[in-house]
Chain A
């Protein structure tokens, strides 16, 4: 699991982002992309001296300005549970695909090989 994948899996969770400048943004992660650009909801920004606090309903953070992202230790446990659920569902989805017409082309090729 890559670091950015962890980020996508903690959407809607509270995170703390520290920027290179020393400012911090505290909020609920709304979305992120492969450049680590983030959007947060219900955020509180703190200036680099830790003195000025500002409430922002929505904030965008450019990925290259980030120093680190911090989050609660038990978020990873939640993520593990989520993942376990997905793994359980996956074989079901495959079975459904095989019955339907819209199969994955790779799967079809494998099928041909097996016939040979």
Chain B
């Protein structure tokens, strides 16, 4: 009872300030979140802490890879992830009552297989851009997809 009212007070306190930029995610601390990384993979877990660079610490985190053909792979062992902010595309809170609903429409495959498939797709992108970059450079265009856009 007392803990409930104190957390309400905390919420009121947080709501009375309009945090912008990175500080806006303070409301998601200790909640289950979904983090999409720049490499296309995602991490699902409890957000424990963050800093001004959006470096995130995800507790009990699992990695999930969504693939074509309504398939996904998920790592089995929950771990702590310290994600460097640069690599984060987006982060959002999950409703733990509804988070599994969309997954019911997908088929789960082995994480190793999903990782392999994802890796293969990534390698293809790298190869394609290496060729493109080389040709563009020969025409006088300086591109830096591999160093700037792609991790």
Q: How far is the CB of B110 from chain A (nearest CB, A)?
A: 15
Decide: B80 and A7 in contact? CB cutoff 8 A.
no
A3–B57 touching, CB < 8 Å: yes
Number of CB contacts from chain A to chain B under 8 A: 70
Cβ-based interface call for B37 (8 A): yes
| CB of B126 to closest CB in A, whole Å | 9
Within 8 A of B (CB), among A9-35: 20-22
- Those of B111-134 within 8 Å (CB) of chain A: 119, 122-123
Interface assignment of A105: CB less than 8 Å from any CB of chain B? no
Q: Specify which chain B residues have a CB less than 8 angstroms from the CB of A69 in the assembled complex.
A: 81-82, 84
**Which residues on the A side are within 8 Å of B122 (C-beta)?**
22
Q: Which of B7-15, B48-56, B93-101 contacts A (4 or more CB under 8 A)?
A: B48-56
Cβ-defined contact, A66 with B80, below 8 A: no
Which one, A72-80, A84-92, A106-114, is touching chain B?
A72-80
| Distance, CA A67 to CA B83, complexed state (A) | 6
- Whether A3 and B55, one on each chain, are in contact in the complex, defined by CB atoms closer than 8 angstroms, is yes
CB nearest to A20 among chain B residues: B151
Provide the residues of chain A in CB contact with B48, threshold 8 Å.
Answer: 1, 76
Count residues on chain A whose CB falls below 8 Å from chain B CBs.
25
Whether the pair B83, A68 counts as a contact (CB closer than 8 A) is: yes
- Once the chains bind, are A6 and B57 in contact (CB under 8 Å)? yes
A-B contacts, 20 listed (Cβ < 8 Å)? A2-B49, A3-B49, A3-B51, A3-B55, A6-B80, A20-B87, A20-B151, A22-B151, A36-B55, A49-B119, A50-B119, A64-B86, A67-B37, A68-B43, A68-B82, A68-B83, A68-B84, A71-B82, A73-B77, A76-B59
Chain B residues in contact with chain A, CB under 8 A?
37, 39, 43, 48-51, 55-57, 59-60, 77-84, 86-87, 119, 122-123, 151
Closest 5 CB pairs of A and B: A20-B151, A69-B82, A3-B55, A68-B83, A2-B51
